[in-house]
A and B are shown apart, each in its own frame.
Chain A
């Protein structure tokens, strides 16, 4: 009796997921910058893992820190489109939920491109996405789509 009951509901809910599976929208050009991540290149899938709080330490044991644009920045919308279904609110909620459950550290929210570049340059383990190449030559990590 119990097994039938469990199987019926598993089937129903897994079917729900399958039917309503979602697709991701892509966004415009962006560049990845980081400090002491020991990375010269990063794939988009790996970048997604970083920005979905699935990486706490880099291979060189440096603690990772995700840098995000403040919600009022236009660039925050672009980052949200990449990793958080296009919603800044969703991005903020996701990180707060992860921190509250004790499974991730808070990201750092900064106001503009220059602040992000300066912070990354001075913070080992930090990683960010920027939408302007100004001043990032020594920090850039090449993005691949393998």
Chain B
């Protein structure tokens, strides 16, 4: 779907005006927090040498400020590993929020695309992750970031309905600019029928101009294996359903994502990814968990390359406090090789044992 924007700025100024006349004097409050993680892993891949390593993870400076009683700011600046082995700083979130009615806000800036539960909740804070890694769908189809304008509603009615409608630059853009006229559209809604539960659905539409994988997706990871030989536009549609219930004893999370990518040469590719997590709290400090991660990227997809992967894992999380936890995880990767594709030769079945310490303060 292509969205052509002609009057965004008129809307922005109108909203800012409404906010300014409803605002009142408020003493500003600012909080700065820091999050990080360190990993250790052992990898044994069929046909490859065994690999052991310590690894320094992302380090995250998180700032929130209540500037007035109607305007707040949030930023997340991450120093993370680059593909060349060094580290680079990245502004992962920088957003200003105007509350124009009690349960309704408009947000402007860079943020995590609110299309799925995980992407809307955990961001870069490994301290909050129930597992060591993100679901594999983040490396394949989820448009992780967006720069744009978002309308948000929260806790409406007895079911605590919430909505997010976002117009953004899309997958092919950079932090600096978009590479074309088309804009992405995210529409998501959820309900919270119980205090610990959230059930949601999200839609995402974009036109990836020139099949460019910009800086706002995980679309340059090793799993995505971005196909740069195709340089036409890609029509990108994504539908997500999520169910999360992080109660005290039992934690459950299900993310189902159906993605269609359409090209003018091989037609429409249908990709299905899913993530299922179940955790059980043994006591106040220890959670035993398992998860299953699945990706099925069709052979005719020209944005991502074909992949069929099942990953199963068993782990335990120990919480020293709400600010420090460690996770130990055993993961098994099962790839199915498809003869029509040449890219699967990059991946072989393997197992990994991972340990992570995640912290924040």
**Chain B residue with the shortest CB-CB distance to A17:** B245
Interface centre among A17, A49, A83, A102 (most CB of B within 10 A): A102
Partner pick for B123 among A48, A59, A89, A100, CB 8 A cutoff: A100
Please, how many angstroms separate the alpha-carbon atoms of A96 and B121 in the complex?
11
Residues of A close to B31: CB separation below 8 A: 99, 106
Contact of B322 among A22, A54, A96, A99 (CB under 8 A): A96
Structural contact, B125 and A100, CB atoms closer than 8 A:
yes
Q: Does A101 belong to the interface (CB within 8 Å)?
A: yes
The chain A residue with its CB closest to the CB of B72 is A105
A13 in contact with B252 (CB, 8 Å): yes
B59 CB to closest chain A CB (Å) equals: 15
Interface size on A, residues (CB 8 A): 41
Q: Report if A63 contacts B (CB, 8 A).
A: yes
Known contacts A49-B155, A85-B248, A56 near B284 by CB under 8 Å: no
Tell me if A86 and B248 are in contact (CB < 8 A). Answer: yes
Q: How far is the CB of B34 from chain A (nearest CB, A)?
A: 12
B21 to chain A, nearest CB (A): 13
Contact with A along B1-37 (1 / 0, CB 8 A): 0000000000000000000001000100001000000
Residues in A with CB closer than 8 Å to B128 are 96-97, 100
Task: Tell me, rounded to whole Å, the shortest Cβ–Cβ distance linking B31 to chain A.
Answer: 6
Over the window 270-286 of chain B, the binary record of Cβ atoms lying under 8 Å from chain A Cβ atoms (1 yes, 0 no) is 10101010100000100
With A52-B195, A87-B284, A97-B128 known as contacts, the answer to whether A16 contacts B322 (CB < 8 A) is no
B-contact 0/1 string along A4-24, CB 8 Å cutoff: 011001101110110010100
Of A6, A20, A92, A97, which one neighbours B121 at CB under 8 angstroms? A97
Q: Which residues of B contact A87 (CB under 8 A)?
A: 248, 284
A106 surroundings in chain B (CB, below 8 A): 31, 64
A52, A89, A101: the one within 8 Å of B321 (CB) = A89
Compute how far the CA of A106 lies from the CA of B103 in the bound complex, rounded to whole angstroms.
17
Q: Are B276 and A9 in contact (CB under 8 A)?
A: yes
Within 8 A of B (CB), among A47-87: 48-49, 52, 54-57, 59, 61-63, 83-87
Q: A13-B243, A100-B123, A105-B66 are in contact. Are A22 and B250 (CB under 8 A)?
A: yes
Q: A44 CB to closest chain B CB, in angstroms?
A: 12
Query: Of all chain A residues, which has the CB nearest B277?
Result: A13
Query: What is the minimal beta-carbon distance from A50 to any residue of chain B, in angstroms?
Result: 10
A114 within 8 A of B: no
The reply to whether B155 and A55 contact each other, CB–CB distance below 8 Å, is: yes
Q: How far is the CA of A91 from the CA of B130 in the complex (A)?
A: 16
> Is the pair B102, A20 in contact by a Cβ cutoff of 8 Å?
no
Query: Taking A10-B254, A56-B154, A106-B64 as contacts, is the C-beta distance between A85 and B247 under 8 angstroms?
Result: yes
CA distance A103 to B360 in the complex (A): 19
B312 contacts the other chain (CB 8 A): no
Q: How long is the Cα–Cα vector from A52 to B195 in the complex, in angstroms?
A: 7
A-B contact pairs, 15 of them (CB 8 A): A6-B258, A16-B250, A20-B249, A20-B250, A56-B99, A57-B102, A61-B22, A61-B102, A63-B26, A85-B247, A85-B249, A89-B319, A96-B322, A102-B95, A105-B72
Which 7 pairs of residues, A with B, have the shortest CB-CB distance? A85-B248, A92-B322, A93-B322, A57-B102, A54-B155, A63-B69, A20-B250
Q: Which chain A residues have a beta carbon within 8 Å of chain B's beta carbons?
A: 2, 5-6, 9-10, 12-14, 16-17, 20, 22, 48-49, 52, 54-57, 59, 61-63, 83-87, 89-90, 92-93, 96-97, 99-103, 105-106
What 11 new A-B contacts, CB under 8 Å, besides A89-B321, A101-B121, A102-B95? A9-B256, A10-B243, A10-B254, A16-B278, A22-B248, A54-B160, A56-B99, A85-B247, A87-B248, A99-B64, A102-B64
